[in-house]
Structure 1
């Protein structure tokens, strides 16, 4: 017998070898297919960087604005304090000028008041003299001139001028006004004229 030629070979179907079917592919036997990884979009990357830069710039601008606002607020508060101090100085100077003007006008009037006091030592005032004296005292009182100094007051060198010492007195514990020669006058806290007095000292 002659050997069959290559062209005469018959295909032998091996029942143990199965060709892949659609069911095998569905069950996961399909060959692995690697999909290409998505590459980042260059436009998106550039956009993210630009957004971060804009946010940083906005934050810096806000910080600068807040700093400038704080400086302007401090300047305004300082100017306000300076204005209030200036206003107080002006008011104080105005009051001082008014007191000085009144002081110059009323100082000569004190001599007239001394004359009225000496007249009252001889008895009550009467008639027109009393009316003039009362009116004069009202006028100077309205200008803020007040009198002080009375027997029994503790001697105060800021308010009294001691003309003489009359010795000691067992009834006093400090140097005391015994006699008022001339009343003192002041305007507010300012002494226009010190009271001229005679004083006594306490016994040792």
Structure 2
């Protein structure tokens, strides 16, 4: 005759043997649970076809979506950096042009003095060499002088200080240049002071009226 289990005497359920999922897992005794082998694990969805299971809708993005997002970020960052480089280069050129223009504007009285000396008599010796070197160096910086007798009068770059004939000519021209004008590229440093008259009066300049 089999003797009842000690735990059954006191109204407790009998102990059940529970095996873990792994074959080498130890056996455990838990009250009230039947002894059952869970068997092998079932493969998840997509395991039979060899394809990875897709992420659920609304979940984390897949590798391709993440790659496309990072690529867009890099392209946008590169475009912003290219625009920044262009803007910095443009600002540097603008600052350089302003600095050069300020230096050249300060040298215009020196050029006016050289022009007056040339009008009085031809330059010789060391004075001529200095004047030619000065013209060459300033020309290399982009300084350009303009206005000669016979040029059409342009109020944008010519300053009329007198008229040769009274009235307003139909086609005014610069009959005489009292002071040359200078520009650097498209920037006007100083307008030229001229006498205005008809084309037939070229070379008959008189003093300012």
* TM-score normalised according to structure 2 size: 0.60
Residues 120 and 49 (structure 1), Cα distance of their counterparts in 2 relative to 1, 3 Å cut: closer
Is there any run of 5+ residues in structure 2 with no aligned partner, and where?
1-41, 201-209
What is the 5 A alignment of 1:40-79? 50-51=46-47, 55=52, 57=54, 64-79=62-77
> Alignment partner for residue 177 of structure 1, among 174, 182, 199?
174
> Alignment partner for residue 197 of structure 1, among 182, 194, 199?
194
Residues 73 and 159 (structure 1), Cα distance of their counterparts in 2 relative to 1, 3 Å cut: farther
Deviations 1:63-85 (A, max 9, x none): 73333322222222222122112
**Alpha-carbon shift at residue 114 of structure 1 (Å):** 0.9
**Alpha-carbon shift at residue 198 of structure 1 (Å):** 2.2
1:173–1:202: 8 Å Cα contact kept in structure 2? no
Aligned residue for 1:132?
Answer: 130
Aligned residue for 1:19?
Answer: none
- Find the structure with the greater CA-based Rg: 1
Is there any run of 5+ residues in structure 1 with no aligned partner, and where?
1-45
Residues 158 and 49 (structure 1), Cα distance of their counterparts in 2 relative to 1, 3 Å cut: same
| Aligned residue pair count | 157
Aligned residue for 1:145?
Answer: 143
2:143–2:182: 8 Å Cα contact kept in structure 1? yes
**Alpha-carbon shift at residue 202 of structure 1 (Å):** 7.7
Aligned residue for 1:38?
Answer: none
Deviations 1:1-42 (A, max 9, x none): xxxxxxxxxxxxxxxxxxxxxxxxxxxxxxxxxxxxxxxxxx
